[in-house]
Amino acid sequence: MLEVRDVALKEFVDSHHKSFDDDLAALRRANEEEGVPLILAETEEILSLLLSLTSPERILEIGTAHGYSALFFAKKLPAAHITTIDRNPGMIDFAKAEFAARKEGERIDFRVGDAMEILDELVSTLSGADESQKFDFVFIDAAKSHYREFFEAAEKICTKDALIVCDNILLKGWIVEAEGKAAKRHRTSIKYMKQFIEYLRRRDDIEASILTGGDGLAIIRFINE
Ligand SMILES: C[S@@+](CC[C@H](N)C(=O)[O-])C[C@H]1O[C@@H](n2cnc3c(N)ncnc32)[C@H](O)[C@@H]1O
């Protein structure tokens, strides 16, 4: 559904992407060659800027895959602690191996299981906790039909100044137009993602920016009066 011009622009942006280091460049290449899901180069650029501006100390990620984005967070912010969640048996051992192979992996707490169950555990541990123990940056990049649940759990364990970033908000453009097989196959995700965007718009206690960068991002902060 992307126009030729959009593809050319995307390729241009990707070709100018500067990896954080050679290790991440090689990991990106390997993930892309193996068809492992990972953040797009443009998404990484936007995240990189947000991380530089906010310098979070405790990051929560929902959706680890082989660990690329978690390692990016850990490398970019050498003092940060990252908690990342995935339930997919096809991903878990690979992610564990990538974390074990690098010193940054020592700052990554990999929680294996369904995100909602793990989020519920984190909510019980952290909801009454001091701000200094809560997450100050959240990256939601997992089951596309569950963003609202992920968001509502995450906000209970965030600091008041936290940023919550949701990836794939535009679902490869299917959010506005899906045809044939894509329309059928992804109809549930499309329906729930549209509802999630409307939900963000209705909430007057948050500021939510919906961007077309990468595969579409929602960047959310809480309005603290
Ligand atoms: C797009 S990938 C994550 C990519 C990763 N953030 C990166 O950029 O390297 C999404 C991951 O979310 C996981 N996932 C989806 N739904 C989940 C759920 N309900 N609980 C835990 N993990 C989930 C999938 O197994 C998959 O590995």
| Average pLDDT value for residue range 68-80 | 98
Check residue 10 and give its pLDDT: 84
Number of domains in the chain: 1
**Mean pLDDT for all residues in the chain:** 94
Instruction: With a cut of 60, say whether residue 1 has pLDDT above it.
Output: no
From 58-62, 105-109, 168-172, the region with the lowest mean pLDDT? 168-172
Tokens in use for 14? Answer: 């990707």
Task: For residue 68, give the ligand 1 atom closest to its CA.
Answer: 9
Tokens in use for 137? Answer: 């940056």
127-174 pLDDT tens trace: 889 999 999 999 999 999 999 999 999 999 999 999 999 999 999 888
Distance CA 106, CA 17 (A): 27
Task: Please tell me the distance between residue 5's alpha carbon and the centre of ligand 1 in angstroms.
Answer: 30
Q: Is the CB of 69 under 6 A from ligand 1?
A: yes
CATH code, domain carrying 140: 3.40.50.150
Check residue 179 and give its pLDDT: 78
Q: Is the CB of 149 under 6 A from ligand 1?
A: no
Q: Which band of pLDDT confidence, cut at 50, 70 and 90, is reported for residue 2?
A: low
Q: At what angle do helices 68-76 and 89-100 cross, to 10 degrees?
A: 30
Q: Is the CB of 95 under 6 A from ligand 1?
A: no
Check residue 45 and give its pLDDT: 95
Find the domain containing 157 and state its range. Answer: 4-222
| Average pLDDT value for residue range 73-89 | 98
Triad 184, 185, 188: Cα angle to 5°: 85
Check residue 178 and give its pLDDT: 73
Other CB atoms within 10 A of residue 199 CB = 15
Distances (CA, A) of 63 to 5, 111, 140, 193, 202: 31, 10, 7, 16, 26
Task: Please tell me the distance between residue 162's alpha carbon and the centre of ligand 1 in angstroms.
Answer: 21
Check residue 87 and give its pLDDT: 98
Task: Please tell me the distance between residue 126's alpha carbon and the centre of ligand 1 in angstroms.
Answer: 22
Strands 81-86 and 58-62: parallel
Q: Which band of pLDDT confidence, cut at 50, 70 and 90, is reported for residue 108?
A: very high
Other CB atoms within 10 A of residue 195 CB = 13
Task: For residue 39, give the ligand 1 atom closest to its CA.
Answer: 8
> Which residue out of 141, 147, 165, 189 has the highest number of ligand 1 atoms within 8 Å of its CB and is therefore the one to mutate?
141
Q: Is the CB of 65 under 6 A from ligand 1?
A: yes
